[in-house]
Amino acid sequence: MTTIAAPEAIPYLRSFESLEQNGYGQHPDWLQALRRDAMDAFTALGFPTARRGNEEWKYTDVGPIARASFRIPTQSCHSESIEESLADRVDSLTDPNWHRLVFIDGCFTPHLSSLPNIATVSNLADSLDSHTPLIRQHLARHTPYASHAFTALNTAFLHQGSFLHLPPETSLDRPLHLIYLTTAAETHTLSQPRTLAVIGRGSKATIVETYAGPDDTPYLSNAISELIIKENASLDYYRLQQHGDEGYHVGTTQAVLGDGAHFSSTTLDLGGALVRNNLNALLDAPESSCTLNGLYLAGETQKIDNQVIIDHAKPHTNSRELYKGILGGRARAAFHGSITVRKNAQKVDAKQEDKNLLLSDKAQVNVKPAFWIYADDVKCGHGAASGQIDENSLFYLRSRGIDHEQAHRLLVRGFANEIIETVGCPSVKSLINNLVKTKLTEL
């Protein structure tokens, strides 16, 4: 097959070929074939552009990413002493009581990690032998790459990553923290975090993903998480994006739900120059449900784009979406919520809401809801709002002696609280609380 390579894909293709000749050859054939296929897809696609009439990328121009040409890190990981020097940084991102898997520039770092013993939690690359059927069954099966450039790019270089397999009727006793830290020691590095989690029938887990990197240097973090939630299982999923001020982040999370399963997700965006999150939930069996919440706080020239796609494939499925944004400076945000209700998916109940608080006249938000409803007995609702601090509330607080600045702060904080209050797990809540508090002082 000959495809015309998109020019911006060529450096990535070169890296791919050189890796294939060196390290990647040792991996199982099926994985090599998968990567090759994804590389072909990316080579043909190139990066998406707003120009090609692409609705999906209407509000986010990834031109800067396409033009930059990011470097794939070589397979050699950091020395232990460099990793050791990052221990404090890692500690600052997490709660000491959680289980954790730490990846530094894509490399699994065992001695900064602490694993539970009741489930399989490991580096994906290390589990390829022991868990081949399960991994093969799920890896890259739920996030199609044929027409998604960033997914293709991640899959083409698929190597290390987090793998969680929770057998039926087991529960993780505490949150599992997946920390993907970019050091950006060299400029323009590409890190591609990958997560695969299979939550067995009737099991329960809390997964927290943290994406972080340094300020003052451009890098790209292109992440994919595949979350398979079997019947009656439930997953609490948090995604804490804390990239540096010049970091680019594209993250795709795909959840697939079985009978009676529940997926609850909280997406927190604090950092990054340009951020695009794709969150997809496939309600693939009756009585499955999802609650998708998001909070994005952006200032200066940050751009944060959330696309949330919910597919009600089966009847009696239920979804709740609440995203809130606080925007200062010249920040731009986009929220694109798409809800599909398939034919025969009767008794679906779906609600979507996006609310924004604008702290400056130059901040801007675009909201684009989309409903594709092919069943008739369906309850769907959506709302969108954006506005400035409420003057009535401000005066009410001031009339109690609270000065203008503190009143403003309390109200902004109050706006965020609606999302924070939904966090059930106290230790996760306290971590998020602190992150939000710090970020709000910068807006």
Partner 1 sequence: MLEIRNLHASVNDTPILRGINLTIQPGEVHAVMGPNGSGKSTLAFVLAGRPGYEVTSGSALYQGQDLLEMMPEDRARAGLFLSFQHPVEVPGVRLDQFLRAGFNAVSKSRGLEELDPLKFDRLLRRRVKTVNVDPQMTRRSVNEGFSGGEKKRNEVLQMAVLEPALAILDEPDSGLDVDALRSVAQSINDLRTPENALLLVTHYQRILNYVVPDRVHVLVNGRIVKSGGKDLALDIEANGYDGYEEAANPTLAQPASP
Q: What residue ranges bind partner 1 (CB under 8 A)?
A: 391-393, 395-404, 406-407, 410-411, 413-418, 421
Q: Which residue bears the tokens 């590389």?
A: 39
- Cα 44 to Cα 66, 148, 155: the distances in Å are 14, 11, 14
8 Å CB contact between 83 and 104:
yes
Closer CB to partner 1, residue 364 or residue 393? Answer: 393
Q: What is the smallest separation between the CB atom of 425 and partner 1, expressed in angstroms?
A: 19
Closer CB to partner 1, residue 227 or residue 397? Answer: 397
Closer CB to partner 1, residue 52 or residue 400? Answer: 400
Q: What is the smallest separation between the CB atom of 320 and partner 1, expressed in angstroms?
A: 18
What's at 18, amino acid-wise? S
What's at 304, amino acid-wise? I
> Which residues, other chains included, contact 407 with Cβ-Cβ below 8 Å and sequence gap of 6+?
394, 397, 398
Closer CB to partner 1, residue 102 or residue 326? Answer: 326
Secondary structure tally for the chain: helices H, strands E: 11, 20
Q: What is the smallest separation between the CB atom of 34 and partner 1, expressed in angstroms?
A: 46
Nearest residue to 139 via CA among 26, 236, 225: 225
Closer CB to partner 1, residue 156 or residue 268? Answer: 268
Q: What is the smallest separation between the CB atom of 428 and partner 1, expressed in angstroms?
A: 18
8 Å CB contact between 73 and 189:
yes
Closer CB to partner 1, residue 342 or residue 398? Answer: 398
Nearest residue to 237 via CA among 166, 316, 315, 290: 290
Q: What is the smallest separation between the CB atom of 396 and partner 1, expressed in angstroms?
A: 4
8 Å CB contact between 108 and 123:
yes
Angle (CA) 197-310-221 rounded to 5° is 55
Q: What is the smallest separation between the CB atom of 381 and partner 1, expressed in angstroms?
A: 19
What pairing do the DSSP bridges indicate for beta strands 120-123 and 162-166?
Answer: antiparallel
Closer CB to partner 1, residue 90 or residue 327? Answer: 327
Q: What is the smallest separation between the CB atom of 323 and partner 1, expressed in angstroms?
A: 15
C-alpha–C-alpha distance, residues 115 and 126, integer Å: 14
Q: What is the smallest separation between the CB atom of 395 and partner 1, expressed in angstroms?
A: 5
Structure tokens that stand for 152 in this block: 């293709």
Nearest residue to 378 via CA among 428, 422, 409, 341: 341
DSSP code at position 4: P
Q: What is the smallest separation between the CB atom of 168 and partner 1, expressed in angstroms?
A: 39
- Cα 159 to Cα 24, 37, 126, 224: the distances in Å are 8, 15, 10, 12
Closer CB to partner 1, residue 347 or residue 429? Answer: 429
Closer CB to partner 1, residue 219 or residue 415? Answer: 415
DSSP per position, 238-277: EEEEE--TTEEEEEEEEEEE-TT-EEEEEEEE---SEEEE
Closer CB to partner 1, residue 346 or residue 393? Answer: 393
Q: What is the smallest separation between the CB atom of 411 and partner 1, expressed in angstroms?
A: 7
